[in-house]
Chain A
Amino acid sequence: MSETPSITREDVAHLAKLARIDLPPESLDHYAEQLAVILGAVAQVSEVAADDVPATSHPLPLVNVFREDVVRGSLTAEEALSGAPSVESDRFRVPRILDEA
């Protein structure tokens, strides 16, 4: 059951594209190897966890943590925009986005 997961160059290129990371082609093999090692390490969990251990996304056994629907203070536009690299008309100015709309 515990085979080392294989990661191809294509997988790495796809992930890099999704994450908007510009990876040079010569580094694809390098990262494929590293990612395979990481996945292998994580895969060991499934060896330890028996069927009676459910997949879990949160360490605390809590549900239904709610907030009442009551308005709290917001930031001012100045505060909100204070960290923005570029601002115009009280809005965040961002580069145009290609290939997405």
Chain B
Amino acid sequence: MSTSTADAVVPYDEVIAEFDPVLGLEVHVELGTNTKMFCGCPTEFGAEPNTQVCPVCLGLPGSMPAVNATAVESAIRIGLALNCKIATWCRFARKNYFYPDMPKNFQTSQYDEPICYDGYLDVDVETDEGMKTFRVGIERAHMEEDTGKTSHQGGATGRIHGADYSLVDYNRAGIPLIEIVTKTIEGTGKYAPEVARAYVTALREILRGLGVSDVKMEQGSLRCDANVSLRPSPDAKLGTRTETKNVNSLRSIERAVRYEMTRQAAVLRAGGTIIQETRHWHEDTGITTSGREKSDAEDYRYFPEPDLVPIAPDPAWVEKLRSELPENPAVYQARLQAAWGISDFDMMAVVRSGALDLVAETVALGADQAAARKWWVGELTRIANDRAVELTELPITPADVARVEALVGEGALNDKLARQVIEGVLAGEGSPDEVVAARGLAVVSDDGPLLEAIDAALAESPDVAEKIRSGKVAAAGAIVGAVMKATRGQADAGRVRELLLERLGVSE
């Protein structure tokens, strides 16, 4: 049964001292194909309910599925990018279950014949000893279809327990999904949460690079389930695992794994046993709660899909797809890092914020790499977090940022004004040049108005003026601040300081 009360947890350091964590990650990726896996319905996100459905994806009698060629190609490309072997012959299978999210009473999936299998992905994690590479084995990547969306009505929690009835929208039912399953991930020790996050981050970059999915976690086009178990030591047999669902951001993956480790440790330490179950992650409270126990009811009676013929990818086709794969993101990153001459740590910050392509484009448009990183990894990432959107969804482009930086380079804007221009662009006031014009933002470079403002500020604070004259140059900050305020930040603070000291006949 569900419970909303928090379970006991053990401090993370103690978990690590007493237990060895083992992970398994399942990632579902919605492909960005035009149509569904087995029918010609469109796959647009956010359409009116039940308007992207047809007899096939509604499971109406007599309808027959037909496999989307592009989805198969995407599956193979994903497998190749993950260093997988590609099956020479494989089939779809029916996964039978009774739940109204699939109107057919089964989901068409793959069972013991996945199209891609036995690959790996190397991921880098910052450790106490510097950057370390962990190899995450890929068990399989198989094709299946997404389910419809059910919303539970009535009841207090919106969850299924206590719901009076459910409403179902089948627009999502049948959208091509690739499920990518890792082998058990061992040997991470205390870095298990970071490895989990780094894996999904790297996977997302690869998928983005392949152009097979929009990989938007907040819209559910990339979803991660985290299997976590603990054992007393690396040579002990595997402990019972739990599967945490609904982990919808990179940060949550790290947090959810960490939380599950601390919760399981508390159960084990108290002499209890871990129940093999599904657990739900709660983003707001940062805990997991018990969902459904895995039981023998979970017997899906898989059998080969009789309405679809097998898939036997022609080796020549596979080799052609392999030769056309984009540059591996890890290689691409290494190349950019060398070009920019930045540290592993700084590069990691760019990658983790999902800003790599944006920074690269901004630099390509002429901006300095440090400035491009400052905007995208600092200011803009913070704003994106505040708005709970992806960086790429902010209404600002690398061209805008590059233009702002060009204006800074020309001396037309200072840091403070540049910030205001960025703010204006984000507020939909137009291009950087339009914002500058509309807001009347420009550095006051004429000394006349500055000297006037300086004289006014000195007259305002004669005591400060006296201090500076007597050699306490540190006091100049107060006058410079007053001048900057008077000119609404449009002055160059360095120049104001120069003029001020000159005026008072003091040297630094």
Contacts and interface: CB of A to CB of B under 8 A. Distances in A.
Interface of A: 14, 17-18, 20, 57-58, 60, 62-77, 80-81, 83, 88-97, 99-101
* Range, interface on chain B: 35 or more
Given A58-B306, A64-B312, A72-B40, A92 B50 contact: yes
Interface string B50-84: 11111100101000001111111000000000000
Contact of A74 (B54, B100, B153, B161): B54
A101 B297 CA distance: 13
Interface stretch (B41-49, B138-146, B392-400): B41-49
Given A70-B40, A72-B35, A91-B49, A63 B167 contact: no
Closest 10 CB pairs of A and B: A72-B40, A57-B304, A66-B69, A69-B70, A91-B167, A67-B66, A101-B160, A63-B312, A92-B168, A90-B49
Contacts of A94: 100, 150, 165-168
B89 interface: yes
Interface string B396-413: 000000000000000000
B100 A71 contact: no
Nearest to B155: A96
A66 B292 CA distance: 37
B169 A69 contact: no
Interface in B152-178: 152-153, 159-161, 163-170
Nearest to A59: B306
Given A58-B306, A64-B309, 5 more contacts: A18-B299, A18-B301, A63-B311, A72-B41, A90-B169
B49 to A, nearest CB: 4
Given A70-B35, A71-B35, A93-B165, A76 B91 contact: no
Given A60-B309, A74-B51, A93 B69 contact: no
B166 A97 contact: yes
Given A62-B309, A93-B167, A100 B50 contact: no
Contacts of B52: 74
B240 interface: no
Mostly, the B contact residues are loop
B164 to A, nearest CB: 6
B296 interface: yes
Contacts of B33: 69
Nearest to A95: B165
B50 A90 contact: yes
A76 B41 CA distance: 11
Given A57-B304, A69-B34, A81 B50 contact: yes
Given A58-B306, A94-B168, A76 B51 contact: yes
Contacts of A20: 98
B366 interface: no
A75 B309 contact: no
B326 interface: no
Contact of B310 (A17, A63, A90, A93): A63
A58 B51 contact: no
Given A18-B301, A58-B309, A101-B292, A69 B35 contact: yes
Contacts of A69: 33-35, 68-71
A96 B154 CA distance: 10
A91 B50 contact: yes
Contacts of A57: 91, 303-306, 310
A77 B66 CA distance: 22
Contacts of B68: 66-67, 69
Given A65-B309, A100-B292, A92 B40 contact: no
7 contacts: A64-B312, A66-B66, A69-B71, A71-B35, A89-B167, A91-B49, A96-B160
